Amino acid sequence: MNEALALLREKITSRTATVGIYGLGYVGLPLALRFCEVGIKVIGFDIDDYKVDTLNAGQSYIERLTPQHIKHALAQGLEATNDFSRSSEVDALIICVPTPLNAHREPDLSFVINTIETILPHFRAGQLLSLESTTWPGTTDEELAPRLEAKGFTPGQNCALVFSPEREDPGNPDYGTHDIPKVIGGMTPICLELGQALYQHAIRTLVPVSSTRTAEMTKLLENIHRAVNIGLVNEMKIVADKMGIDIHEVIRAAATKPFGFTPYSPGPGLGGHCIPIDPFYLTWKAKEYGINTRFIELAGEINHYMPHWVVQKTADALNDHGKSVKGSRILVLGLAYKKNIDDSRESPAVEIMELLLHKGAIVDYTDPHIPTFPKKRDYNFDLKSVALTAQNIASYDCLILATDHDDFDYDMLQNQAHLIVDTRGRLQKQSNVVPA
């Protein structure tokens, strides 16, 4: 180990290293707060001035992270900045930026590439670079390592490079950032050693693997496993609906088997920044090896279809009540992609709203966790969350339960609504409730 990396290891071991977090969203900010919690100085980097200013003012833009959390981190030395030249000040650089799909459902690495290109002029020997953004196997050694080497930095010799995928689960009360075992793979054994030394301060359990590609594939397998099983149960829901069978009753009964069955819940589609997107990173990369991932792509097709299924069920339900979608006032219950959180990324509720608007409906939403419709690249709704009062509920022709937040008063909803389309199996069976 050369002198620069030996100094890095000493700083990491003594907790005097400074950590840079790039991307202060649902992944980066909790990680930044966790490092601060254990006494490690953090500089958070983001191109969004609103996030930078909000954090430096001691406020939060993520519901589960309170102003008290932010202020405590600031007292521990947290700084937020949009000045990427300060990258030279940090010892470990952790990239937590989005990896979305483009219009052709192909990987869009522009956020990762733009971040590394912005960092490189300020990179120095003796720094550790960690990518946490989910991506296709080979990204770390094919995209990041060559860029470092072109500037004279060789992983394992004068810098370190690792891949350690995020495993955040917003809204999970049992597992926080430090509780979730963390997979990590290094470009070399020395890279892995330094990466483990860093993360072990903040994460309770580390899971070292043999390479960055193994770590990248591990993250994809986790999310593909869920996507495929959700696709299966969504298809089963459609079949059961045609047969007049309650799929939720079926799942509850099947889940009593003490072995060989894992229950998955159907819904209006997939949401969040992982499960609807990550499988396509592997399908795209697999084509380079002449492999068509038919199973994964089929599950993606089924899950992508579900918002259309919900809208068709809504149209049929309205028709049974003597109304058409066009001109009907429809309230979507829940904008977040899953219950009890404020994250609406890739939420099927948003696509349901868009589809209904195209059919001429008058659409509103209500969500206790999202008071104003957030800015999105593909959707532009100038809406605020509607208050759930008995009078408001009764004023809509139809309600669609897209996200089953615990805060909703389900008794009032069922008592006051003319018609409710239930995509989550949360409501009791009665004449004004239509399962979808």
Q: Give catalytic residues, as residue numbers.
A: 274
Answer for the pair 255, 263: CB distance below 8 angstroms, yes or no.
yes
Q: What strands, in cross-sheet order, belong to the sheet with 362-366?
A: 362-366, 329-333, 398-401, 420-422, 433-435
State the Cα–Cα distance between residues 157 and 5, nearest whole angstrom: 8
Answer for the pair 29, 102: CB distance below 8 angstroms, yes or no.
no
3-state secondary structure 382-402: CCECCCCCHHHHHCCCEEEEC
State the Cα–Cα distance between residues 97 and 26, nearest whole angstrom: 10
- Tell me whether residue 320 is exposed, middle or buried, using C-beta atoms within 10 angstroms of its C-beta: 0 to 12, 13 to 18, 19 or more: exposed
Query: What is the H or E stretch that residue 312 is in?
Result: helix 294-320
Q: Are strands 160-163 and 182-186 parallel, antiparallel or unpaired?
A: antiparallel
Q: Terminus-to-terminus CA distance in the chain, angstroms?
A: 60
Answer for the pair 52, 84: CB distance below 8 angstroms, yes or no.
no
Angle at 337 between CA 331 and CA 341, to 5 degrees: 100
Phi, psi of 244 (to 5 degrees): 75, 30
Nearest to 237 by CA among 302, 157, 334: 302
Structure tokens belonging to residue 37: 């919690």
Nearest to 187 by CA among 137, 133, 148, 145: 145
State the Cα–Cα distance between residues 383 and 81, nearest whole angstrom: 30
Q: Any alpha helices (H) in 145-254, and if so which ranges?
A: 145-150, 189-199, 212-242, 247-254
